[in-house]
Chain A
Amino acid sequence: MSTTVAAEAVTRSPTASATSPRRRRRGPGSLAVRLGVFAALLLLWWAVTAAGLVEPLFLPGPAAVWHAFVRANTCHPISAGVERVVCGEQNYFLWEHLLASLQRIAAGVSAAVVVGIALGFLMGTVRPVATVVEPYLNFLRSLPPLGYIGLLIVWFGIGDASKTWLLFLAAFPPVAMATIAGVRGIRATRIHAVQSLGASRWQVLRHVVLPSSLPAIVDGVRIAVGFAWTTVVAAELNNGIPGIGGLAYIAGTQLQTPLVIACVIVIGLAAIALDALIRGVGDLLVPWHGKA
């Protein structure tokens, strides 16, 4: 009996068809296409460099980049025939550089999430606050990080504090803006419904406004982390070792093009992995996203 009723619910549910494949799943065909395109690009890169069409200084081949990557992760003689051994690049392994940058991003973005969500809720629920603060938020949002890193160094020194501040300042406007949009996008009747059940102002905030704006906040955090990645190189231009952005910059000034490319690829892959992680956490937090 209960199974027939359950079956009825499934067939009558307008969202039933949308619930089973959580996201639009890519078929095996499109994965093959992606791999194929990737292999073709790799081959083109190899062919162009192997044929000597481009000076290796401008574009080293895949093998040279791989070699630079391996060298950056191992201990090796300082040069051929010399006994002195150095480890990694700039005295740190590549993964240590990456970890240092990730720690800065984590510190800056964590602060941005806390402050951004709090300010976003305040601005989304109290009109006068939004009216006063919004222009400054837009001002800050439009500043290029490279423009004011010098100022932050003067204020907070050459150490990690100025870098964390820069990442924080770059990451917190998108979180705040997304939170405001999330709060303002809540349907009035959803709030009215809960008020009519007897909810106080605080209970409305806790039981409706906060969870309803979670999907927008998750999107805001994803954008913020993206901003943090683009900012991390700027943050590490000065005294940025260890740090993957600092390493990329120094490698560039020393014309170690293979190492620059290796760093760029590592930054890109780490960014994609981190975004996938946040998206996964977001899906866990807001399983109803797109369904209600």
Chain B
Amino acid sequence: MDHHDHETPPAVTITGVTKTYLTDSGDEVLALRETTLAVQPGEFVCIVGPSGCGKSTVMDMLAGFHEPTSGEIRVGGSLVTGPGADRGVVFQQPNLLPWMTVRRNVELGPRLRGSPAAERRELAERFLTMVGLDQFMDRKPYELSGGMQQRCQIARVLANDPEIILMDEPFGALDAITRERMQTELLAIWREKRKTVFFITHDVEEAVFLGTRVLVMSARPGRVVLDLPVRLGDGDAGPEMRSLPQFVALRDQVAAAIHASHDRPTAAVA
């Protein structure tokens, strides 16, 4: 029907979500304070902030690994109560199963759903080709480099066709050159599929480069301090985008927000 913004139901709604947890020494830590957020389908949301700001907490709750202490999270209108195939998760570590070949790893999601062998084989081949691993389908994951394992993990998530893709610092462990290449590949895949993506990073440049929307979070208690739309050719630009003045300006704005939120607690103590 029609696809105006106000007609489309949000892909994700986070309503008044607070998360506290107990440390081993019994102290209560407020990981996330009263956060409310709506994300439209097809948005590429980057969450950036210093370590310990609760960005992984948001991700864990979206994925259904942990429950909010209060508030609620809805994906596609229904309440999140646990992990599910509608939300694909790309972790910082590849988390591939070492007893399966690369191909079998990518086939795993469809296989768990009981897809016929021919169908999941075709899916695996398509997505492994997309991430450039078609030469390595019959290898074991531990025979691949870290960057290739990470691409395999991304193929595994894409082959499962989730509504939303959650990525928790997926390129954090990669070297700079591989990371840039993966960023470009990820954007190309997102342009083709237009999935809703949540992407967590502590790298400001990565956030501004990838996202259509950047959320800056501050630590203790974790909360969103800046919600910035990023419209640099709607993600159509290539790597040369990094040197555009608008890009640099946005990057500085995000970095400034992080520093401001970071300095405040220190100032309060002093």
What residues make up the interface of A, taking CB atoms closer than 8 Å to B? 2, 5-6, 9, 12-16, 19, 187, 189-190, 192-200, 203, 207-208, 211, 286-288, 291-292
Minimal Cβ-Cβ distance residue in A for B65: A192
Contact residues in B for A6 (Cβ distance below 8 Å): 135
Pick the 7 closest A-B CB pairs, nearest first.
Answer: A198-B85, A292-B98, A288-B98, A195-B83, A12-B145, A197-B109, A193-B95
Minimal Cβ-Cβ distance residue in A for B84: A198
Q: Is B156 an interface residue (CB 8 A)?
A: yes
Q: Complex Cα distance A232/B136, Å?
A: 49
Contact assessment for A9 and B148 in the assembled complex, using a CB-CB cutoff below 8 Å: yes
In the complex with contacts A2-B135, A6-B135, A189-B91, A207-B145 CB distance below 8 A: no
Q: Is B29 an interface residue (CB 8 A)?
A: no
Q: How far is the CB of B21 from chain A (nearest CB, A)?
A: 15
Contact assessment for B145 and A197 in the assembled complex, using a CB-CB cutoff below 8 Å: no
Q: Which one of A190, A195, A197, A199 lies within 8 Å of B156 (CB-CB)?
A: A197
Please classify the interface of chain A as helix (H, G, I), strand (E, B), loop, or mixed, using the class held by over half of its residues: helix
Knowing that A12-B147, A195-B64, A197-B108 are A-B contacts, what are 8 other residue pairs whose CB atoms are under 8 Å apart, sorted by A's residue number?
A9-B136, A192-B83, A193-B95, A195-B82, A208-B97, A288-B142, A291-B98, A292-B98
Contact residues in B for A5 (Cβ distance below 8 Å): 135
Contact assessment for B140 and A196 in the assembled complex, using a CB-CB cutoff below 8 Å: no
Q: How far is the CB of A22 from chain B (nearest CB, A)?
A: 13
Q: Is B55 an interface residue (CB 8 A)?
A: no
Contact assessment for B145 and A9 in the assembled complex, using a CB-CB cutoff below 8 Å: yes
Q: Complex Cα distance A207/B105, Å?
A: 11
Q: How far is the CB of A204 from chain B (nearest CB, A)?
A: 10
Q: Which one of A194, A195, A208, A291 lies within 8 Å of B142 (CB-CB)?
A: A291
Contact residues in A for B109 (Cβ distance below 8 Å): 197-198
What residues make up the interface of B, taking CB atoms closer than 8 Å to A? 63-65, 82-85, 87-89, 91, 93, 95-99, 108-109, 112-113, 135-136, 139-148, 153, 156-157, 160
30 cross-chain CB contacts under 8 A: A6-B135, A9-B145, A9-B148, A19-B142, A189-B93, A189-B95, A190-B97, A192-B89, A192-B91, A192-B95, A193-B95, A194-B97, A196-B84, A196-B85, A196-B157, A197-B88, A197-B108, A197-B156, A197-B160, A198-B84, A198-B109, A198-B112, A198-B113, A200-B112, A207-B108, A208-B97, A211-B97, A291-B142, A292-B96, A292-B142
Q: Complex Cα distance A203/B99, Å?
A: 16
Q: Which one of A190, A197, A211 lies within 8 Å of B85 (CB-CB)?
A: A197
Q: Complex Cα distance A187/B93, Å?
A: 11
Q: Complex Cα distance A198/B109, Å?
A: 7
Q: Which one of B82, B84, B141 lies within 8 Å of A292 (CB-CB)?
A: B141
Contact residues in B for A292 (Cβ distance below 8 Å): 96, 98, 141-142
In the complex with contacts A12-B145, A198-B109, A288-B99 CB distance below 8 A: yes
Q: Complex Cα distance A9/B133, Å?
A: 10
Contact residues in A for B140 (Cβ distance below 8 Å): 287-288
Q: Complex Cα distance A197/B89, Å?
A: 8
